[in-house]
Structure 1
């Protein structure tokens, strides 16, 4: 389906939903009842007296209990709190949760790559784009309800988000070495009919047009035991990045020649485009729930489509000539660059919010998730079965011109119009089954046992194409016959069978001890091939293949156990101390890089081992009266054989290697206070010190020195929020919200020649609104100071200055939000 068709289908779905809402609102009797229920929702929270804080009920331990009584490091954010803070997706979530870092800046950067970092457990360059999935498993696992799959979901109609810090291997799988993020949506409610419509219109500084979104929800009881719920919406973010010097392309996608009579020396023709990073997302999520007596079953399906014309990156400030495209800028090229006028025709310095890219970089992604969650109350325990399936498909183009020219220009004989498009097609799908039996909470001994099975397959195909190169090489008299520069084809099949259990024994009414284990068998089959037509037989593994074909693979079967130990003591009725030891592990694999020919890598790059963590944490949480809640934890993590995605020293092929040891230590703090009946304050703070303990040296190349800070995590993050709600005249309620979030500077890579030291920055947001009964409206401003927050960046030592991609937070955005609950 084309992008335009996707947008049209999304718009039709949204309009159909809104029409149903409008039809339902035609019943005045129901509208009268709705006003009394306008503040109600399906959120899980304890009932609180007026002027006091309620406690959020979570299910992180597979049983219902409040976050403050759960003896692990956990943060829970309700849907109401997300709405007040204007949190719409993962880009905004990290400013409400201590220790959680998200280095994605746009819809696109939340594609096939999980950008979450918890407790500093990250060794990879943070400049990796979302359309370039890595062969490693992300350190942070993400669950959509009960389905383990990373999706940068639109956070609409959310019941709550739970962030579990530290390895969660026993209950949430071996991939969760740093933590788990759980997104739980509101479920169908058979007790009453309800509907909601919300949206916003805003304007972003440097953008040429407005942003807008529209979301709707319908909850319809079908009978006393059955209800249907439908959520759908559409969001459009207007771009704010301009490209002043794109290559003008002909009908075949090749650069237009400034001098058609000279195909060898002619420069390309320059053109420009504004707002090259327009982005949109639409989703639809139907749910059906049946619940009677001891049995319940929930059917859920979600489809989300994402489109972006480009990424939120600029190339500011660029740099002076000569560049990698100058005759003197690429000394390895022979016969050198063919035309000295390139830097004059395509300047290499840029203003803020200007990109040096040469081509447009569209991106499309479709995500489908389906699940059936059934449970039965056996009396002594609850039996639950979750059957789920997901499919994630993306197509993306990125501009790799600056990297190729700086690193591999010598292969292309100074081609004066070198523009390289990396086309990536990625599919990932899995079938998952989990069965668990959870005992009732009464008695001294509580336990849960279960089994888990996942069958996952993913495929990445990358074609790097240099348009017009075949015609150029033919004009030179050395025809290649193809514009293909590089092809990477990777297949991964993964099966995980596990049995797990946790048991808690209450030694005394105040003291409990918990033990957990997960025994698993993993079967990983990874194969990849690489083609380098420009290099031919000289780059092939067999020294014969004319396409420079190389590759490899491996099958790895691992059977192992992970353990967890936890204890807590109820110091007072409202103060809990806890300590935890937990383990985590990620699978290993094969890289399939060439080991023969002029671009052959050392055999040390062929395979990578699983990595493991041992996590130690102690914490304290509780409440003082009904107006103050807090939690804090100190952690110490030993990371063994840490995996890092790198490029081979010759040919720059993607590969994963292992270090020896890394360590992460820090604290996470959060607090919330009901200062008066009208004012609620919240604050979070985290400190992290994560570093390599031993140098990473593979094939004689250093990828990180001992003592190097791990990339992607600021040493300090903090946030502060304030909410004010007070009745005013004529039944109106005034609402005020403000929040500020800060992240200190951080590194972007372990390798000094690639690393960029990014400065810290703070983002300030505020809103003012009024509500009356079911209606609400507010004015808001995000990033009030128009801070240019850089989330990641490339180093000019590895890229031409035109490819210094600074991934940015969104500039000052001012707008109007509205909502109606029926």
Structure 2
């Protein structure tokens, strides 16, 4: 039977009657950009109103998203802005959406795939912290958070992946071993610069799916990403193990159920002192069944030209990197209450050679005996199910990850034959999380959930010598040297972790203007480990003893609590306490298998926030934190120079950070931020105590004591379909040390990185010009070259001054 379209109520999920007074009541509203029909359903559900349409053709009109506290009337006005549709009250809480007079039905315009630049006269809305898993308004979130929406991601920035986040967030830092093999740190929670079997200190997520565990940052490109949120840690209650420093949550754009569309981008770049590069990307959104089923595809390829010369092998620009990959997402919405998303990701990174240089050889030069290539293959599959009942929401996310990282290091000894050490880390992750959430007004509500994670990390190692002499000297004790390019296995390790978790958090308002939040996470971890390809010198008794120590069961409870007040108009004050942990495991130290135990972080912080970036003429935020870190796990090197993991002792960290955002003009934004860290290994482990000499203390590695960023952003609409965007930024990275002690104590940092971007949008086309490293600074991002030689003056330079021309087309 055909449904009459005389009066189609698309948002009658809640049929409560609202009086005019109730219509003016402020509601907590969060609606994603999309089609008017879907937005009306969500708005009716969130406000209790019945919103209908007398003309079904308007349901396909594209509308902007809404986020914030506002009345139903204000929400309708903002939702319908620019659509030639008006809202008319029929009676009580019943509204009808209809075309304005003299407006004839037409084919709904297609939503451009390139994010529209915000009009200067548009009223900004509140920022919602979705990574809190309870859609908390920013003024009522107790903690430091950075949010980057799709308006900041140009095609050039999308092609840079995690480097874009590092350039924009002062509290985020990284090692710089190469794309796909870096470790990310938030605040000053950093363990070391070398890559071993320990778990990351920063949790990374694509939507609700965990990206990493006992492996570096996969460095996914940021094409077709709607938003990125960075929450400072610990985040143990909601995210569990591996969120000591915090979490990074990347939220890709979801399939649009009603509109066909897409985007293509292309760019060419030139690097001073180096090779050219380029990037291509394409996004396609295809509705398969209108308002029920849609597919979204993303594909890309990026080539970064090399700029380091190897004088020993007489090769130029050896460190070229190629990346290609894509995403696919299928959304099924059988009705307004259910949403089912199936998604997949694949990315391949191939680095032709290592990224470091040697100062004594010359700028952007080194002298290596062998090529040191690396590669990363990353595969993810996820299914997410969401069910909505008024202000009650159920979310289930389940997925698999396979991450294969292959690295190689120059193991040539002075006067010896060329040799290459290879390490292959294969990580498998299965994770599922199921949570029930109740979102109430003004950040109140609760969350209750359960999760299970299983991770296996296999590290295989080998040594290859290219010598031809009958007898070759030993490089790694007890590892044979065959010569003539024949690899010999070295001892590797396998670690397995199974985590079962219950977690919960609730916020309530004991008195008006004061919000208290309490939560906890109970985790049972089952750990096991074993040696892989053990050398002949390792006895069965040694192996059995180490593996027996690694096979254990631990139960850990992580509490959290915060107090927040917004009693002072437009000002938020908060205090927060939270904990985080990482499980232990096995590592290979001097070709022997040893156990390292779990570590634990406790952080107390005080902060305030005034105004909101992008909305108010002045927005301020500041935070002071103290962190106590027990039994610190760190990937260090053994006496041979091979990466291993050990507990290096207890430490403490003081952190002070702040941010100011000014909007002297509607089109102009000035943004400044800084972070200061004072870290100390307050109680070093026994094997490190000899390194603390002359009363000097040991600082924690890889995070600068001081960092800051200044940025200027200007956006102006030149004509009805033409807009100009200018952005300039400079970031200072202070001094830090590669590791703990004199051998790994090389200094790094103390440089300024700068950039300038200009884009002009004309209808569906966008032209862009970007320049990075304006000053052509050499700098030193990372002091590690090869772990088989820790005394040379290695450094990892910034990419020299680079210019990119880009073209984007939306359809």
3-state DSSP class of the match of 2:247? strand
Match of 1:819, SS state, is strand
Distance 1:35 1:593 in 2: 60
Q: Could you tell me which residue of structure 2 aligns to residue 179 of structure 1?
A: 246
Which residue of 613, 626, 629 maps to 1:636?
626
* TM-aligned CA deviation for residue 516 of structure 1: 0.6
* Greater Cα offset, 771-780 or 726-735: 726-735
Shift of 1:542: 6.7
Tell me: higher relative CO, structure 1 or 2? Use CA pairs within 8 A at least 6 residues apart: 1
**How much has 1:219 moved relative to structure 2?**
1.5
* 8 Å contact from structure 2 (residues 427, 455) kept in 1: yes
Contact 2:111 2:261 in 1 (8 A): no
2:505 matched to 1:506?
Answer: no
Answer whether contact 1:431 1:454 (CA < 8 A) is retained.
yes
| Aligned Cα root-mean-square deviation (Å) | 3.1
How many angstroms apart in 2 are the aligned matches of 1:184 and 1:72?
Answer: 20
Q: Answer yes or no: is the 8 Å Cα contact 2:120–2:716 preserved in 1.
A: no
DSSP-derived class of the 1:91 partner: helix
Corresponding residue number in structure 1 for 2:392: 381
Which of 565, 570, 595 is the matching residue for 1:607? Answer: 595
In the alignment, which residue of structure 2 is the partner of 1:193? 260
- Check the 8 A contact 1:52/1:674 in 2, yes or no: no
Q: Partner residue of 1:435?
A: 434
Q: Could you tell which deviates more after superposition, 485-494 or 621-630?
A: 621-630
The structure-2 alpha-carbon separation of the partners of 1:35 and 1:737, relative to structure 1 and needing over 3 Å to count, comes to farther
After superposition, the Cα gap between the structure-2 partners of 1:509 and 1:351, relative to the gap in structure 1 and judged at 3 Å, is: same
Higher strand share: 2
1:219 counterpart (260, 285, 290):
285
Q: Pick from 164, 167, 180: which aligns with 1:95? A: 167
* TM-score in terms of structure 2 length: 0.79
1:56 aligns with 2:127: yes
Match runs of 1:509-658 below 5 Å? 509-529=512-532, 531=534, 539-541=537-539, 552=547, 554-593=550-589, 606-623=594-611, 626-649=616-639, 651-652=640-641, 654-658=643-647
**What whole-Å deviation, never above 9, does each CA across 1:284-330 have from its counterpart, x for those lacking one?**
1110112222111111101111111012211121xxxxxxxxxxxxx
Give the deviation of 1:159 after TM superposition: 1.0
Contact 2:120/2:666 (<8 A) preserved: no
Q: Report the secondary structure of 1:758's partner residue.
A: strand
SS at match of 2:199: coil
CA contact (8 A) 1:774 1:820 kept: yes
Three-state SS of the structure 1 residue aligned to 2:223 is coil
Residues 507-534 of structure 1: per-residue CA shift (max 9 Å, x gap): 13311111111001001111125655xx
Map of 1:411 onto structure 2: none
Question: Structure 2 CA distance, aligned partners of 1:682 and 1:380?
Answer: 36
List alignment gaps of at least 5 residues for structure 1: 1-29, 247-271, 318-349, 406-415
Q: Which residue is 1:756 aligned to?
A: 746
Whether the 8 Å contact between 1:198 and 1:216 is mirrored in structure 2 is yes
- Work out whether 1:368 is the aligned partner of 2:435: no
- Counterpart CA distance in 2 for 1:799 and 1:697 is 24
Shift in Å at residue 417 of structure 1?
4.0
Structure 2 SS opposite 1:746 = strand
Partners of 1:632 and 1:85 lie apart in 2 by 31
The alpha-carbon distance between structure 1 residues 235 and 141, as it changes in their structure 2 partners (threshold 3 A), is same
Aligned 8 A contact 1:530 1:593 in 2? no
Residues 729-738 or 497-506, more deviating: 729-738
* Residues 286 and 300, structure 1, Cα contact 8 Å, conserved in 2: yes
1:300 paired with 2:320, answer no
* Contact 2:411-2:788 within 8 A present in 1 as well: no
Question: 2: distance between equivalents of 1:455 and 1:184?
Answer: 23
- Judge conservation of contact 1:35–1:773 (CA < 8 Å) in 2: no
For residue 331 of structure 2, the aligned residue among 264, 269, 289 is: 289
Task: State the alpha-carbon separation in 1 of the partners of residues 155 and 606 from structure 2.
Answer: 31
Deviations 1:407-439 (A, max 9, x none): xxxxxxxxx442220122221111111110001
Provide, for residues 308-365 of structure 1, a one-character-per-residue CA deviation record: whole Å limited to 9, x for no partner: 1012211121xxxxxxxxxxxxxxxxxxxxxxxxxxxxxxxx1211122111122222
Once the 2 structures are TM-superposed, how far is the Cα of residue 675 of structure 1 from its aligned partner?
A: 2.1
**Contact between 1:540 and 1:550, CA under 8 Å: does it hold in 2?**
no
For 2:418, the equivalent position in structure 1 comes to 419
1:193 positional shift: 2.1
Which of 751, 766, 789 aligns to 1:799? It is 789
Determine if contact 2:410/2:788 at 8 Å carries over to the other structure.
no
Give 1:276's match in structure 2, choosing from 318, 322, 327: 318
Equivalent of 1:677, from 663, 666, 685? 666
Aligned length: 687
* Contact in 1 for aligned 2:462/2:489 (Cα 8 Å): yes
Structure 2, unaligned runs of 5 or more: 1-104, 213-217, 474-478
CA distance in 2, matches of 1:443, 1:360: 57
Question: In 1, are the aligned partners of 2:244 and 2:581 still within 8 Å (CA)?
Answer: yes
**Residue of structure 2 equivalent to 1:11:** none
Matches of 2:322 and 2:665, distance apart in 1: 40
Within-5 A mapping of 1:48-87: 50=121, 53-83=124-154, 86=157
Residues 1:645 and 1:397: Cα distance change in structure 2 (over 3 Å): closer
Say whether residues 1:244 and 2:311 are aligned partners.
Answer: yes
How far the C-alpha of 1:641 sits from its partner, in A, is 1.3
1:432 & 1:800 partners in 2: Cα distance? 38
8 Å CA contact 1:52–1:626 kept in 2: the answer is no
Bigger shift: 218-227 or 651-660? Answer: 651-660
> CA-to-partner distance for each residue in 1:609-660, whole Å, 9 max, x for gaps?
21111100111113177333332211110111112233334x4554332233
Q: 1:142/1:797 Cα in 2 relative to 1: closer, same or farther (>3 Å)?
A: closer
Contact (CA 8 Å) 2:572, 2:608: kept in 1 or not? yes
User: Which residue is 1:269 aligned to?
Assistant: none
CA contact (8 A) 2:463 2:481 kept: no
Alpha-carbon separation, structure 2, partners of 1:549 and 1:504: 48
Change (3 A) 1:707 1:48: farther
Report 1:400-419 matches (<5 A): 400-401=411-412, 404-405=413-414, 416-419=415-418
Equivalent-residue separation in structure 2 for 1:636 and 1:609 (angstroms): 23
Greater Cα offset, 374-383 or 548-557:
548-557
Mean CA deviation greater in 53-62 or 517-526:
53-62
Q: CA separation in 2, counterparts of 1:471 and 1:800? A: 29
- Structure 1 residues 449 and 706: CA distance shift in structure 2, 3 A: farther
Residue deviations 1:31-84, cap 9 Å, x none?
99758757756x9xxx99726654433312212233343222111111211329
On the 8 A contact 1:141/1:181 being kept in 2, the answer is yes
Q: Which of 497, 502, 506 is the matching residue for 2:500?
A: 497
- How far residue 794 of structure 1 moved from its aligned partner, in angstroms, is 4.0
Q: What's the offset of the Cα at 1:502?
A: 0.4
Change (3 A) 1:790 1:217: same
Q: Which SS does the other structure have where 1:134 is aligned?
A: coil
DSSP-derived class of the 2:153 partner: helix
Relative to the length of structure 1, the TM-score reads 0.78
> CA separation in 2, counterparts of 1:618 and 1:676?
31
Inter-CA distance 559–729: structure 2 relative to 1 (3 Å threshold): closer
> Displacement of 1:101 after TM fit?
0.8
Matched, 1:449 2:438: no
Distance 1:352 1:773 in 2: 44
